[in-house]
Amino acid sequence: MNHRAPTKANSYPIRQRQEPQQSRCASFPIVGVGASAGGLEAFTQLLKALPSRTGMAYVLVQHLDPTHESALTELLARATEMPVKQVTDGMLVEPNCVYVIPPNVDMIVSQGILRLTPRTQTRGRPMPIDCFLRSLAEDQRSNAIGIILSGTASDGTLGLGAIKGEGGITFAQDEKSAKYDGMPRSAIAAGCVDFVLPPDRIAEELARICEHPYVTHSPSSKISALIPDSDPHLENILLFLGMANKIDFSDYKPATVKRRILRRMTLHKIEDVKKYVHFLQHNPAEIEALCEDILIHVTSFFRDPGAFEALKTEVFPTILKHRSPEEPLRIWVPGCSTGEETYSCAISLLEFLGARRANIPLQLFGTDLSQAAIEKARAGFYPESIAADVSPERLQRFFAKVEGGYRINKTIRDICVFARQNLLQDPPFSRIDIISCRNVLIYLGAVLQKRVMPVFHYALKPRAFLMLGTAEGILGTASDLFELMDRKHKIYCRKSTPARLHFDFVASQYPLQAGNLGIDNAASRKSEGGVRLFELNKEADRIILTKYAPVAVVINEDMEVLQSRGHVGLYLELSPGRANLNLLKMAREGLLFDLQAAISEAKKKDAPVRKENVEVERNGELKGVNFEVIPLKAAATKERHLLIMFEDAISPVRPESAETMATAVRLGKGGKQERTNRQTIQLKQELAASKRYLHSLVEDKEASNEELQAANEEILSSNEELQSTNEELQTAKEELESTNEELHTVNEELHNGNSALTQANNDLVNLLSSVNIAMVMLGRDLQIRRVTPQAEKLLGLIPTDVGRPITNVRPNIDVSDLEQMIVEVINTVTVKEREVRDREGHWYSLRVLPYKTLENMIEGAVLTLVDINVLKNNLEQIKQSHDQLAAERAKLEEVLRQMPCGIMITEATSRKLILTNKQAEDILCHPFPPAPDIEHYDQYRAFHPDGLPYAPEEWPMARSLATGEVVTDEEIEYLREDGTHVFLSVSCAPVREREGRIIAAVLTFFDLTHRKGAEEVLRSTEKLAAAGRLAASLAHEINNPLESLTNMFYLLNQDPTLGDKARQYANMANAELERVTHMTKNMLSLYRESQSPVDLKICEVLDSVLELYGPTIRSGKVTVEKRYDSAGEIQGFPGEMRQVFANLIANALEALGGEGTLKLHVLASRDLRNPKASGVRVFVADSGSGIPAERQRRIFEPFFTTKGEKGTGLGLWIAQGIVRKHKGYIRVRSTTQPGRSGTCFSIFLRNQTMRAKPSDTAVRLDKSA
């Protein structure tokens, strides 16, 4: 037997496996999908190909980073129309929905509800896929579907095995479409995958499966609805299995067998049982696959850890307590599947024994009906996911880590023997101390369970132990064989039964041929109502015998009645006294002598003897009876038996009686009557005498019979003794057969081991002879074990050097400390690598690696020498080329650094920026990261001269890359990240290969911003100069009439006839005329600049500017506060100074808005930048609203204005230029704080002699500065 029920993993709390029980499955399938690396792409392909209304629920389990939030839900929601939800604890699973596991949790499903627990597991890598799929198998059973997609390692393998064991369907992504094939390959290698397909094909298969009756029916009704118990095709399927595998499944649990049949039908797209029978007839491989499905191979290490702890605390100590030292401790695990249970028992036993292990012989036997499962158990290789069930300490102690998983170490493997065995047909082991048969009986019917228990009772020693699964128990009469010791873990102790149990192991026979099981024959059985033919015959015989069969008894040679049929009381009755079933003592009066005579005659002739019309007294009357004695022969026994059948005679009146009556009528009643009476009396006396005589003969015979009976009893006693001796001999024979079976099993193990060893040796020899690498294998003593032909040539070895220390060999390579390297590798278990040369200067890569056994023991070292001469030369050439390239690149970078323009080079295929210079970053105020996309950074910040933004394809770089266009001096306005504008002159040209293909583009650009500003200043200056010339012309034209008016008022004032009143008005008019004249003179002086600097006083300049703005000041509520601590004498250009202060005072008055205070302060001061220099410091302050801090940093930039469209943004920039030309500087302080707001400009001007300027206006001089 090889059944293994799915069990829980240590990482999640779900119930123990029980069958049968009421289904808790949902009414729709739940699909568990697991993936790791590359899973997002596979998930997306699967969901895109899935219909949105399959009636299934999909739960996606992905290995996620526990330290970051997952965006998997949002990404997958784009691939399907189904709702995609991230799981929260307690979420109910609904059909046509997709559920995604959140990070850093373990998830299970319980009664259709998803449960989350924080991930606390710290040993090894987490196995969230196994955790969920195992719980899905436990909870949904045949309604579970498992899928493993791209990923590394082996997570999900155990989970798929659990789902398949419960009758679910499993998928794995094929290796071609999987980005990482580790997880799918592990599941496929474990044999637990039904379909291997790419994700889109998996979706198609799911869409098909969702319409199959096995899926569409509810779990509680689908088995009985699809395969009724009376379906004759079920019998045909069982007969097919029996003939092909010699296994009778008729007494297995029907629900289990039906579920497996329906699962296979679903896989082959068959919906009718009749069609599946036809499919089995033509596909023998499917019979084997169905048999493997019924023989469930799902198991795990340390299922129910409490049971193994109970072995350590209750069972092992009891067994060892009264054990002799030389007696081996024997454990048998029937139905061991792939060996996990057997190895778990072995590990627990070794942990319990500890240091006593060396003194106790151990033998563990694992048997199973499946040869494939036995082969896996013998190999002892298991996936990495067993770490969920085996602790790190056990993995390190009892397993060896190999590629793709773990292998059981030799210590455990040597004490475990595995063999194929049919528990119900093959002889069992004997003298067993413990039998662990967990979760096997749950799949067997009551008949098979009754047959198994005596087998276990025979195999166990007195007071030995039997351990069953938590859902199993001892039933019926088997309770007389075992005593319950531990109810929780179902541990029983063998009872010592007084009578020996008899059982035989006879293989089931299947006399029917394959041709007799056709579809037509099955149809004929169906037309008969589905009842077996022999059952009909049996029922018919019972009715006929009841109604028409004669009364009969069966007796043995001792005349003892063994069986009776019918109403035998008409012919036999119990004699008074002690009950006795002897036929002769039970015969009614008149029947004894004829019956005894007929029995003797039948024995003598060995043929039937019949007697008729025998008078028997019954209720005071004589009745005629016929009987027949028939000898019986039984093939199974040598003892003779007789069948005696009785019946009433048809004519009860004898002929003699009729004749006597007729004679009496003729003779009358006289003397004749008397004579007749005397004769009658005489006859009666003779008859009585005869009866007495016969009675004495009978008594004598009975006495002889009693003597013979006594002798027979003595013979029987002797026979019993002989039988007891024979039984002892039979027991010894059975023990010898069991021992022989064990020796045969061990021999098979050794044979398999020798075959594997021979194969491995052949593979190694061929590998070493064919590999083109110099390789030497050394032992711990540095002796040479194996060498390759290349090593012989390179190291100068010969075949006879094998077995010699390598230190005795003088190699052809230059490595003086070879022995030291080898010893260090063996002692430190590290890899040493070095580049060495031979005597001819040829280069090799020398590697020394530790030689590890399967048990991870270091037994030597391995030397390899790989020819790297070509690689070394190529590397040297590459290095030289790299150095040359680096030098050329350095030159190019230096050229780029020295160029006054910005440069960008973009690669054509990737559209990535591969090179820029510092000027490009400075001009654009943007640090470019390595390989940015130039279009991504710049295309949406460039504008045409008309203000329209550049489209992506209009960017010069894009045009050159796309069409090969050469762009020259294209003017572009660019918006920097800080919000400032820069004007560029852009040129771009493509770079082509020899074939003409464009591989890159080079873009250069110059900053035109200052030139643009200078042009704008020049235009403004020209406008101001024109306005000045116009104003000077007007002032000149006005001066002539003003001079005439002045002369006229002078003459009028000289007139003696002029009255006082008129003279007063004339004086007033003359004063106003002088004021107008003064203003025109100031205007002329403002726009008439001298060619050389002159001595001037700042106070006078300020007063002249104030006089210009007098009307504005007087029109509002502006208060001017002047404080002249110094006259402010400097050497400079008065017109430029008036322009500076006019700009500052105009800005101050505008900031005051007609109300506030304007302060002017002039004082002598030291230069804060150069304390040795002195000069004049001027403050112009207002109590206006102030300038925000973010604008203060930019008010001296050209074209920056705080006045909107009213300002040009050039006033302060020009003022700053004039001040700098006079070797001074200007600063600003401002605050917007309520109650204290205001702005103050501070100007420092040095006392120094200035050189003459060329003939131009002040503004143009500033431009040139």
Residue 112 lies in a domain: yes
Q: Which two tokens stand for residue 436?
A: 């662990």
CA angle 816, 819, 823 (to 5 degrees): 140
Tell me the C-alpha to C-alpha distance, in Å, between residue 866 and each of 313, 784, 834, 845, 863. 57, 19, 11, 5, 10
Same domain, residue pair 237 and 351:
no
- Domain of residue 534 covers 222-297+518-542
Coil/strand/helix, residue 95: coil
DSSP-derived 3-state class of residue 148: strand
pLDDT value at 1091 more than 80: no
Whole-angstrom Cα distance, residue 1194 to residue 1201? 9
Judging by DSSP bridges, how do beta strands 967-975 and 1129-1132 pair with one another? unpaired
Structural domain ending residue among the three candidates 158, 188, 211: 211
pLDDT of 935 reads 52
**Is 1001 in contact with 963 (CB distance < 8 Å)?**
no
Residue 1216 has pLDDT above 70, yes or no: yes
Residue 954 falls within a domain, yes or no? Answer: yes
Q: Are residues 130 and 2 in the same domain?
A: yes
Q: Please give the average per-residue pLDDT across 1076-1095, as a whole number.
A: 63
Indicate the helix (H) or strand (E) that contains 1072: helix 1060-1087
Residues 235 and 352 in one domain: no
Give 165 or 539, the one with higher predicted confidence. 165
1131 has pLDDT over 80: yes
- Who's near 387: CB < 8 A, 6+ residues apart? 123, 124, 125, 127, 395
Q: What percent of the chain has pLDDT over 90?
A: 20
- Tell me: pLDDT of 407 over 90: yes
In a domain, 1041, yes or no: no
- Quick check: helix, strand or coil at residue 1191? helix
Amino acid at 698: V
Lowest-confidence range among 219-228, 825-834, 1142-1151? 219-228
363 with 415: CB under 8 angstroms? yes
pLDDT of residue 241: 78
Domain boundary among 185, 211, 237: 211
Task: Kindly state whether residues 979 and 1103 are assigned to the same domain.
Answer: no
Under a CB-based contact definition with an 8 Å cutoff, are residues 907 and 881 in contact?
A: no
Strand blocks (E) in 726-883: 774-779, 784-787, 832-837, 843-852, 858-867
- Whether 333 has a pLDDT exceeding 90, the answer reads yes
Report pLDDT for 512: 35
Residue type, 195: F
DSSP assignment, residue 79? T
Is 489 among the residues known to form the active site?
no
Give the whole-angstrom CA distance, residue 273 versus residue 264: 11
Lowest-pLDDT range, 168-182, 210-224, 264-278?
210-224
Nearest Cα to 260, choosing from 156, 168, 375, 391? 168
Q: Quickly state the pLDDT bin for 308 (edges 50, 70, 90).
A: very high
Which domain CATH number covers 971?
Answer: 3.30.450.20
What count of other Cβ atoms lies within 10 Å of the Cβ of residue 416? 24
What's the average model confidence in pLDDT over 394-401?
A: 92
In the three-class reduction of DSSP (H, G, I as helix; E, B as strand; rest coil), residue 1200 is classed as coil
Choose the catalytic residue: 106, 130, 139, 155. 155
Radius of gyration for the chain, computed over Cα atoms and rounded to the nearest angstrom:
59
Q: Is 67 left (phi over 0), alpha (psi -120 to 50) or beta?
A: alpha
Interval 951-976 mean pLDDT: 88
Q: Does 1226 share its domain with 1129?
A: yes
- Helix or strand or coil: residue 339? coil
Amino acid 763: pLDDT: 82
Q: 129-138, 239-248, 275-284, 925-934: which range is least confident on average?
A: 925-934
What is the band of 1066 on the pLDDT scale with cuts at 50, 70, 90?
confident
pTM above the 0.85 mark?
A: no
- Which is nearest to 955 in space by CA: 947, 943, 969? 943
Distance CA 835, CA 867 (A): 10
Strands (E), 980-1037: 981-992, 998-1007
- pLDDT value, residue 345: 95
Token pair 């579970």: residue: 144
Q: In the predicted model, is pLDDT for residue 392 greater than 50?
A: yes
Q: Mean pLDDT, the chain, as a whole number?
A: 79
Strands 482-486 and 784-787: unpaired
pLDDT exceeds cutoff 80 at 542: no
Distance CA 157, CA 185 (A): 9
pLDDT at 206 over 50: yes
Q: Same structural domain for residues 73 and 100?
A: yes
Give how far Cα 568 sits from Cα of 552, 559, 573, 596, 714, Å: 7, 16, 8, 17, 33
Same domain assignment for residues 187 and 242 = no
Type of residue at 304: D
pLDDT, position 10: 40
CA distances from 583 to 142, 573, 1215 (A): 63, 9, 152
Between residues 8 and 1196, the one the model is more confident about? 1196
- Position 1046 in a domain: no
What would the mean pLDDT of 377-406 be, rounded to a whole number? 89
How far apart CA 773 and CA 767 sit, in angstroms, is 10
- Inform me whether the pLDDT recorded for 500 exceeds 50: no
Q: What is the dihedral sign for C-alpha 650, 655, 659, 661?
A: negative
Report in angstroms the alpha-carbon separations of 1165 from 376, 649, 1169, 1174, 1179.
101, 167, 12, 6, 12
Q: What is the mean pLDDT of residues 177-200?
A: 90
Distance CA 372, CA 376 (A): 6
Residue 287: C-alpha distances to residues 275, 282, 292, 373, 512 (Å):
14, 10, 9, 17, 17
pLDDT at 1086 over 60: no
Peptide bond into 126 cis (omega under 30): no
Backbone CA torsion sign across 559, 561, 567, 573: positive
Pairing mode, if any, of strands 561-565 and 551-556? antiparallel
Catalytic one among 3, 11, 63, 139? Answer: 63
Asked which of 127-136, 382-391, 533-542 is least confident by mean pLDDT, the reply is 533-542
Q: Is the pLDDT of residue 205 over 80?
A: yes
Using a 10 angstrom Cβ sphere, with 0-12 exposed, 13-18 middle and 19 or more buried, the burial of residue 588 is middle
The answer to whether residue 749 sits within a structural domain is: no
Q: Which pLDDT tens digit goes with each residue over 787-828?
A: 888 888 778 788 788 888 888 887 888 888 888 889 989 888
Instruction: Give the CATH number for residue 252.
Output: 1.10.155
pLDDT in tens, 759-787: 888 888 788 777 778 889 999 888 988 88
- Domain total of the chain: 7
Beta-strand pair 1129-1132/902-907: unpaired
Residue 765 lies in a domain: no
Contact of 360 with 329, CB cutoff 8 Å: yes
- Same domain? For 204 and 240 the reply is no
Token code pair at residue 182: 């580790």
926 & 986 share domain: yes
Instruction: Using alpha carbons, list the distances in angstroms from residue 440 to 5, 369, 1049, 1179, 1182.
Output: 8, 12, 141, 105, 101
Statement to judge: residues 8 and 146 lie in one domain: yes
| Integer Cα distance of 486 and 465 in angstroms | 11
pLDDT value, residue 1242: 92
Assigned domain for 890 exists: no
Distance CA 366, CA 284 (A): 28
d(CA 1194, CA 1206): 18
Q: Is a pLDDT exceeding 60 seen at residue 22?
A: no
Q: Measuring CA to CA, which residue among 391, 43, 71 is closest to residue 199?
A: 43
Would you give the distance in Å from CA 41 to the centre of its chain? 14
Q: Supply the pLDDT for residue 1099.
A: 92
Taking only the tens place, the pLDDT of each residue in 725-747 is 776 787 677 667 656 655 655 56
Contact 1218/1262 with Cβ under 8 angstroms? yes
Q: Is 567 an active-site residue? A: no
The band of 1067, judged by pLDDT with boundaries at 50, 70 and 90, is confident
Token output for 1175:
């000069």
Asked if residue 645 lies in contact with residue 552, where contact means CB atoms within 8 angstroms, the answer is: yes
Average pLDDT over residues 1122-1130: 88
Long-range contacts of 518-525 (CB under 8 A, 24+ apart): 518/281, 519/274, 519/277, 519/278, 522/232, 522/233, 522/236, 522/274, 522/277, 525/232
What mean pLDDT is predicted for residues 1053-1075? 78
Q: Kindly tell me if the per-residue pLDDT of 749 is higher than 60.
A: no
Percent pLDDT > 70 in the chain is: 80
Q: Is 473 exposed, middle or buried (0-12, 13-18, 19+ CB in 10 A)?
A: middle
Q: Which helix (H) or strand (E) holds 710?
A: helix 671-770
> Is residue 63 annotated as part of the catalytic site, yes or no?
yes
Assign residue 1204 the CATH number of its domain: 3.30.565.10
Lowest model confidence (mean pLDDT) among 312-321, 461-470, 548-557, 1172-1181: 548-557
Question: 126 and 6: one domain?
Answer: yes
**Which residue in 36, 154, 337, 436 is the catalytic one?**
36
The residue among 990, 1007, 1024 that closes a domain is 1007
In a domain? residue 708 = no
Measured distance CA(647)–CA(156) in Å, rounded: 78
- Which residue, among 906, 919, 918, 914, has the nearest Cα to 991 in the 3D structure? 906
- The predicted structure's pLDDT at residue 144: 92
Kindly give the residue spans of alpha helices, DSSP state H, lying in 248-401: 254-267, 273-282, 284-294, 305-310, 316-321, 340-353, 371-379, 392-398
Among 585-589, 675-679, 1146-1150, the minimum mean pLDDT is found in 675-679
With a cut of 90, say whether residue 872 has pLDDT above it.
no
Whether residue 289 is found in the same domain as residue 309 = no
Asked if residue 506 has pLDDT above 60, the reply is no
Residue 523's pLDDT band (cuts 50, 70, 90): very low
Q: CA-CA distance, 545 to 566, in Å (whole number)?
A: 9
**Residue with the larger pLDDT of the pair 317 and 445:** 317
- 636 contact partners, CB below 8 Å, separation of at least 6: none
End-to-end CA gap in the chain: 104
When pLDDT is averaged across residues 291-304 and rounded to a whole number, the result is 82
User: Is pLDDT of 332 > 90?
Assistant: yes
- Residue 146: give its domain's CATH number: 3.40.50.180
Cα-Cα-Cα-Cα dihedral sign, residues 366, 368, 370, 373? negative
Residue-wise pLDDT for 651-697, tens only, equals 544 444 444 444 444 444 455 676 677 667 757 755 765 666 576 66
